[in-house]
Structure formats: structure tokens, C-alpha cells
Amino acid sequence: MREALLRIEGNHHGLVLTTDESGTVTGLATDGDIRRKLLAGASLDDIIKLCANPEFVWADSATPRESLLKQLDHRIRLIPLLDAQRRLTAIVSRDHLPRQAEEQTYARARSPVRISFGGGGSDLTHFFANEGGAVINTTIAAYSHATLRMRRDEKILICSLDLADSLRAEDLQGALGQKGKFGLIQALLKTVHPDFGFELYLQSDYPMNSGLGGSAVVSAAVLGCFNQFRRDHWDLHELAELAFQAERLYLGVAGGWQDQYATVFGGFNFMEFRMDQNIVHPLRIPPDVLLELEESLILCHTGEGHDSGNIHEDQRQQMQKEHVRKQVQTNVELTYKMRNYLLRGHLLLFGQSLHQAWQFKRQFSSRISNGALDEIYENALQHGAIGGKLLGAGGGGYFLFYVPPFRKLELMQHLEASGLKLRPFRFEPDGLQTWSAREGRNNVESKPE
């Protein structure tokens, strides 16, 4: 007991731990325990085990920090941390709690697709370089999903469910140099230029070449994941610009600007395009108007894909013609009216404007529509629709129809009987969403080697 009191005097904790020959902690004795034993007649030369409490409070490395804090706040001055063999690893007190180590994390992102209502073609740079462009669109609840985790080496693994393929490389240069299906992802890597190895997993809720702005949506999800590992986060405009840079400049696919802004910002937006700056105006549409519009729209797949790059390239050539540029400008003017109809809740006029917008758009290029697509549209008008349009560049993908409430079932039955696949949807008010999670809490697999 004499030696124990000397130890207590030296450690300033007010207690000592007792162990057996193997180092296993067997008990805890405080200075009060020793004092009471001495008052009861014990000698300073007696062994400390006589007054050590074998039922002492202790914890291990897995004990939640919350539990330790509550015990220290309640009545415990000091808590020994023991390992599986009950050997001492650390001491927890009010003045010393073990530092919470930084855990391995991974990043996740999801970005929504968009449906566009009017102004298509005016978001092309070669159009608004001389005249202002304007479009109106909204995002819906269908997403591209991305998961990214850093590796401890420079290796790169990219897996895409949409492409049904994988890319593996020893480093970034090796990934950029490969041929295959991953041109868009490689263009994004060239834009981001990550200085670490990583694993990237991708999948989408919608088919490729659907006219929903899918390539921009994938780009936004990938950029969102990499943004999670940056200290200086890109803002929404920068994310949209980076997505445009990768697809339009590095990959060389022709197209406009609205897809990148739509998926990153999310919700109903009226967008204006000029050479000095692009402006995204969120639309404050009354909730009941949004619900009624959502119920009045039907989305159905034509059964055909489209190549938006080739269609946009053809539009570029056609827009050199003065009459085509005037048609696009007329469509822009109509878009301003459609914005106002939405804000005031005049949905019938909005639906009729969809019809006008489609009549203008289908004249921009001979590749935007064809006989089969025209037939789908005309038959839809005969079965209740009062307006609609092909989404995206055209040529295939999804048709969007506006239908009054009491003819909706008739139109749906007709479309299904014609072999067209309907896709239910809801408006999505949010754009790109990104977050990080801890590997230890959510992943049962081994960490990347």
C-alpha cells in the first residue's frame, strides 16, 4: 500500500490499477480506498490487492465517445481503456480524451435529369453569340448516381452500369490514354486532373440517348464527387461550366448550355444566355400550379434513341440560314410567354404553347423529327393532347405531352396500345446533391489496397 500511495502521489490521478503477472488489469484502488483500509487496521506494508475493487468502471476502444463523456460528467473521474486481454492502453479523464482519428471516407453524388419546355436551340453558343437565348426547363426525380473513393496508390478503376463496362489503369495518364466507351469520363478526368488514385462507380435511372440531358447529368454527378474532396469547393456555376468544358470542348460533342445548368441548379428555371454571362432565374410557381402541371404532363419513350451531337451539328449548319435563325428567335419570344403563363397559373395556354414551340423546333433541322415521330405526335393530339414536344435535341428519346384532366386516361391508353412506354415522374426541386460518408460505418468490404 505504501508503494501504491507513492504512485498515486506521482500520477495525480488519485488511483492505481492492479495487474497480474501477465499484465491483465485485475482491479482499481483509489487513495480513498487505501485510506479506509488503513483506518480499518491494515498496514502500509499490506498488499494493494486487499483494497482494490475488481468491479471497476472501464471501457475499450469501441466504447462510444458519447458514453465516455456521460460517465465523466456524472461521477467518474477517470476511465481506463483496456484491450481484449484487459491490458491497459490509455486513460480517459476530463482533461484527456483520446483524439478522434480521421476515418477513411468516400463521396457520393446524384444529379437529376431535366425536361425542357421551350427555347431549344437558343442555348447554342453560335446562336446567342449575336442574339440572346432563353429556355425554360425543370428537373425530375430520375438521377445519375456516382460513388467515389480515394485509393492509397495511383491506380484507377471506373465501373459503369450504364455502359456495362469497366476501365482499369495504373495511373491517370494510363486512364486518359485508353480507347473505348469512357470518352465522357476521360474528358471529365482531363478537366479535374485528380492527383490521387480512385475508384468510381456509376449508374443511372434512365436509358442512354433519351433526350433528358443524360451526359450532362452524369458529368455533374462525377464532378460533384470530386468536389467533395476539394478544400476550395467549386460553386454551382463553376460545376456547370466544367461539365460544359469536358463534353463540348474536350470530348467535342456539339450541344447547348442548358443541360449542365439544369441538372446542377435543379428545379424550375428560366435561363438566359448571352456572351457576357448566363443567368439562371429560379421560378416561384405556386404549389397548386406545380401539382396541376405535374398531373397534366405525360412522358413516354418513343422506342428510338438519338444522337444529340449530330443533330446539334446539323442545327449549327442550318442556323446559318436567316429564316432558321428567325424561327429560333420566335421560339425564344414564345419562351418568355410560357414563363409568364406558368407564373400566373395559365396552364392551358402553357400547354398550347408547347405545341407552338414544337412546330418551330421541328423546322430547325430535318433530323429533329421524322415520319414515325410525326405520326406519334399527331395521334396523341387526336386522343386528347393539346401540345407536346420531343425532349432534348430530338430524333428520338422521350415525348412530353400536355393533356387536359378529363382526357388523360384516353391518351395514356392510346399511347400504351401503340406500344409506347409511359414513364411516371415527379418534379425534383433540388439539383446536384453531394455528400461524404465514413467507410467504417457503411462499408462491409475491405478497404482499397
Note whether 74 and 176 are same-domain residues.
Answer: no
Residue 40 grid coordinates: 480499518
Note whether 79 and 117 are same-domain residues.
Answer: no
In a domain, residue 438? The reply is no
| Domain containing residue 65 | 2-93
3-state secondary structure at position 20: coil
Percent of the chain's residues with pLDDT above 70: 93
> Residue 97 pLDDT > 60, yes or no?
yes
Note whether 26 and 118 are same-domain residues.
Answer: no
Tens of pLDDT, residues 5-49: 998 888 877 889 999 989 999 999 988 888 998 998 889 999 998
In a domain, residue 101? The reply is no
Note whether 80 and 125 are same-domain residues.
Answer: no
Last residue of a domain, one of 93, 118, 152: 93
Integer CA distances (angstroms), 355 to 225, 245, 344, 380, 388, in order: 39, 33, 19, 12, 5
Amino acid identity of 353?
S
Last residue of a domain, one of 64, 93, 122: 93
Q: How far apart are CA 348 and CA 416, in angstroms?
A: 24
E-only strand ranges, 238-353:
269-273, 278-282, 297-301
In a domain, residue 448? The reply is no
What's the mean pLDDT in 403-428? Answer: 96
What's the mean pLDDT in 99-123? Answer: 89
Residue 169 phi/psi, 5° resolution? Answer: -150, 155
Residue 411 phi/psi, 5° resolution? Answer: -65, -40
pLDDT of residue 93: 86
In a domain, residue 435? The reply is no
Tens of pLDDT, residues 326-362: 888 889 999 999 999 999 999 999 999 999 998 887 8
Note whether 205 and 287 are same-domain residues.
Answer: yes
In a domain, residue 48? The reply is yes
Note whether 110 and 87 are same-domain residues.
Answer: no
Note whether 297 and 171 are same-domain residues.
Answer: yes
Q: How many domains does the chain have?
A: 2
Are 389 and 354 spatial neighbours (Cβ–Cβ below 8 Å)? yes
**CATH number, domain at 44?**
3.10.580.10
Q: How far apart are CA 426 and CA 43, in angstroms?
A: 81
* Residue written as grid cell 469536358: 246
In a domain, residue 446? The reply is no
The strand pair at 88-93 and 105-118 is best described as unpaired
For the ranges 175-189, 348-362, 379-393, the maximum mean pLDDT occurs at 175-189
Tens of pLDDT, residues 147-174: 999 999 999 999 999 999 999 999 999 9
Q: How far apart are CA 445 and CA 236, in angstroms?
A: 33
Note whether 113 and 201 are same-domain residues.
Answer: yes
In a domain, residue 428? The reply is no
pLDDT of residue 302: 87
pLDDT of residue 344: 96
Last residue of a domain, one of 93, 122, 139: 93
Residue 220 grid coordinates: 455533374
Strand partners for 389: 400
pLDDT of residue 139: 97
Note whether 231 and 334 are same-domain residues.
Answer: yes
> 222 CB contacts (<8 Å, ≥6 apart)?
109, 146, 148, 185, 188, 200, 202
Q: At what angle do helices 236-244 and 214-228 cross, to 10 degrees?
A: 130
Q: How far apart are CA 424 and CA 294, in angstroms?
A: 10
Nearest to 277 by CA among 320, 241, 328: 241
Note whether 112 and 10 are same-domain residues.
Answer: no
Q: What is the DSSP string of 177-197?
A: H--SS-HHHHHHHHHH--SS-
**CATH number, domain at 184?**
3.30.230.120
pLDDT of residue 449: 47
Note whether 124 and 72 are same-domain residues.
Answer: no
What's the mean pLDDT in 52-57? Answer: 90
pLDDT of residue 442: 72
In a domain, residue 231? The reply is yes
Integer CA distances (angstroms), 113 to 129, 210, 248, 257, 296, in order: 26, 10, 18, 14, 19
> 333 CB contacts (<8 Å, ≥6 apart)?
none
E-only strand ranges, 52-132:
78-82, 88-93, 105-118
Say what the pTM is: 0.83
Q: How far apart are CA 132 and CA 275, in angstroms?
A: 8
Note whether 156 and 71 are same-domain residues.
Answer: no
Tens of pLDDT, residues 206-251: 888 777 888 999 999 999 999 999 999 999 999 999 999 999 999 9
